[in-house]
Chain A
Amino acid sequence: MSLIKASATDLLGYLQSGQVSAVELLKQYLDRIETHDGSIHAYLDVAREAALERAESIDRRRSRGERLGALAGLPVAVKDVLCTAGWATTCGSRMLQNYCPPYDATVVRRLLDADAVLVGKTNMDEFAMGGSTENSAFGVTRNPWDLTRTPGGSSGGAAACVAAGMAPLSVGSDTGGSIRQPAAYCGVVGLKPSYGRVSRYGLVAFASSLDQVGPLAATAEDTALLLEVLAGHDPRDSTSAKVPVPDYLLASRQPLGALRIGLVREHFGAGLDSEVDAAVREAVDWFRDEGAEVKEISLPHSRYAISTYYIIAPSEASSNLARYDGVHYGYRTDERAMLGELQESRQRLLQEGDNAGAENLDGTLVRMYRKTRAEAFGPEVKRRIMLGTYALSAGYYDAYYLKALKVRRLIRQDFDAAFNEVDVIMGPTTPTPPFRLGEMIDDPLKMYLQDLYTVSANLTGICAMSLPCGQTGAGLPIGLQIHAPAFHEHRLLQAARAFQQGTDWHIRRPDLC
């Protein structure tokens, strides 16, 4: 029997009852990857042999009647931004092409402790910067629904592998929408947990006050299943919260009750694609028909969210990425060539009588840093490092960085006020359906504006998820975004699960030939 379309929760039942073994299940996914990943390229690396060995050992332990973890035997894909001990972790960057972490990220450790089978590392925009996976140094990922389009990003591989049936569960990271936007573009579910819900230990840092690790899956229940394994306090991440982890799967199955839904006036304005608008409104109508109370609300500072985000995130990135210096790990420029070049410049300047110029040339160490970073970072990463360096530099700090931190609080206050009136906020995840590969590559600002609806959850630290709620006339997926207050993931999952009980958008899969 084909298990590719079964949900992870169903698969878990088949595994537990012995209808299928972990090895048989894994083989179906590996076959699927073999057939389709050549054209989609969701994976940077597939650990075929290691995964098979692990599946065999889980089957053996099960047959001996051992007590197994919550995901025992389920294949899980991991975004290549999470450290895996002894297994290359590239972040989609030439900088870390040969980097092999000495330890596991806490979430990876939790997956292993839950007896999951790690099947591969998924493709992403370099250092999680981007919304299309086109910034990966190792080739783009294609949208399984239309190979000429982007799967979104930065967790493009993480979403595409679930959409294409190449993994039932997948782990991504979200700094400004990097789980939710690709989930919307690929027609799957993706959840950005509240800040502090999931440990960031071993997550390669992009913007530390915004980064969160989270689950992607085909259904709300599967998302709940995976979140429960990922979530929880970690002494190794001092920003992780000491908040108990509920039984998310159980919580997702609770009846909806009298839900108060807020629709943000500012989210249905200019720039929103009409098909996305219609699909989102129809989804909200479904909730209304189920007895939810829907009211229009305002987030007056939402039009400043992109500016705030694109000052804060690059500022933090410029600081975090300073560690890539060609000394401790990662790429280093060819030293001999670098020294030769410096020598040549110095002689040329001296011949021209430009003694000051020769004096001002970089020292060897500084030039080594600069050449290393210039050669190993891609254009988007360079842009963000420079943008952040600029915003933090003397004379500009108050005008940009400090200003953005203040507006961040205003945005947070908008959400606090809104959640006094409503339980959840619903709206589109993205302003448009997935765009064509190459369409925005030369216009970074236009690309940034696509993040309009997603960045606020990261700035404020609240939780948000995207789930499929419709399709365009051309058959492209559309995502509904739901926001809830911090540490109310159960409310998101409950609403999403109820919606999926009554609709079938989450069951639709792309036609892959």
Chain B
Amino acid sequence: MPLSSAEVEKVALLSRLLLGEEELRRMTAQLGDVVEYVRQLDELDTTAVEPMAHAAELSNVFAPDEVQPSLDRELALANAPKRDDECYRVPAVLGD
């Protein structure tokens, strides 16, 4: 097993996901399969290779520094699961 279920549980927390017992078991096996497969890249010596983060390797795309209209607040809030007149609402976080 390339991945332990404890590792997968930790990744679930980092991913802000919550897995049930059965889901954790399946995920551990399936992620293990994929991780084992992608380790084939270890065969390649890439010490002298520059990483390629992007297909279009652009740098410094500037836009004129001009004030433009942005999304209206009401529109920005329109899809919020919970809101008041001007803010998104979240469960109380203080005192946690």
Interface positions of A (Cβ within 8 A of B): 98-100, 102-103, 195-196, 209-210, 235, 238-239, 241, 301, 303-304, 306-308, 310-311, 318, 322, 325-332, 335, 338-339, 363-371, 373-374, 377, 379, 382-383, 385-387, 389-390, 393, 400, 402-410, 412, 444-445, 448, 458-461
Q: Does B67 contact A (CB under 8 A)?
A: no
Question: Which residues of chain B have C-beta atoms less than 8 A from A412's C-beta?
Answer: 52
Interchain CB contact under 8 A, A406 and B15: no
How far is the CB of B8 from the nearest CB of chain A, in Å?
Answer: 7
A-B contact count (CB 8 A): 170
Residues of A contacting B50 in the complex (Cβ-Cβ under 8 angstroms):
406, 409
Could you say which interface size class chain B belongs to? 35 or more
B52 to chain A, nearest CB (A): 4
Given known contacts A307-B38, A409-B52, is B27 in contact with A383 (CB within 8 Å)? yes
Question: Chain A interface mostly helix, strand, loop or mixed?
Answer: helix
B19 and A374 form a contact (CB under 8 A): yes
For the complex, what is the distance from the CA of A370 to the CA of B38, rounded to whole Å? 27
Judged by DSSP, the binding face of B is loop
A371 CB contacts on chain B under 8 angstroms: 18
What is the distance, in angstroms, from A370's C-beta to the closest C-beta of chain B? Answer: 4
Contacts A/B (CB < 8 Å), 26 sampled: A196-B56, A209-B55, A239-B56, A307-B38, A308-B41, A326-B81, A327-B81, A330-B81, A331-B81, A332-B82, A364-B91, A364-B93, A366-B16, A370-B18, A373-B16, A373-B17, A377-B17, A386-B12, A389-B15, A393-B14, A406-B50, A406-B51, A409-B50, A445-B34, A445-B37, A448-B34
Specify the chain A residue showing the minimal Cβ separation from B50.
Answer: A409
A310 CB contacts on chain B under 8 angstroms: 34, 37-38
Docked Cα-Cα span, A338 to B81, in Å, equals: 15
B84 interface residue per 8 A CB criterion? no
* A19 vs chain B, min Cβ distance (A): 42
- Shortest CB-to-CB span from A382 to chain B, Å, is 6
Contact A102 B71 (CB under 8 A): yes
Alpha-carbon separation in the docked complex, A412 to B79 (Å): 41
Chain B, range 50-67, C-beta contacts under 8 Å to A: 50-56, 58, 61, 63
Residue of A nearest to B71 (CB): A102
Question: What residues of chain A lie closer than 8 Å to B71, measured between beta carbons?
Answer: 102-103
User: Inside 8 A of B58's CB, which chain A residues have their CB?
Assistant: 238-239
Do B78 and A102 touch across chains, with their CB atoms under 8 A apart?
yes
A461 CB contact (under 8 Å) in B23, B56, B76: B56
Q: A328-B79, A445-B34 are in contact. Are A382 and B56 (CB under 8 A)?
A: no
Pick the contact of A364 from B34, B78, B96 — CB < 8 Å? B96
A307:B41 contact, CB within 8 angstroms: yes
Verify A409–B55 contact, CB threshold 8 A.
Answer: no
Closest partner residue, chain A, to B72 (CB atom):
A102
Residues 30-60 of B, flagged 1 when their CB comes within 8 A of A and 0 if not, give 1101110111111010100111111110100
How many angstroms from the CA of A367 to the CA of B75 in the assembled complex?
Answer: 27
Interface presence of B6 (CB below 8 A): no
Known A-B contacts: A383-B31, A385-B15. Give 5 more (CB < 8 A): A195-B55, A304-B44, A373-B16, A390-B3, A412-B52
Q: Could you say which residues of chain B place their CB within 8 Å of the CB of A303?
A: 40
Smallest CB separation, B5 vs chain A (Å): 12
Cα distance A102–B91 in the bound complex, in angstroms? 25
Q: Say how far A295's CB is from chain B's closest CB, in angstroms.
A: 26
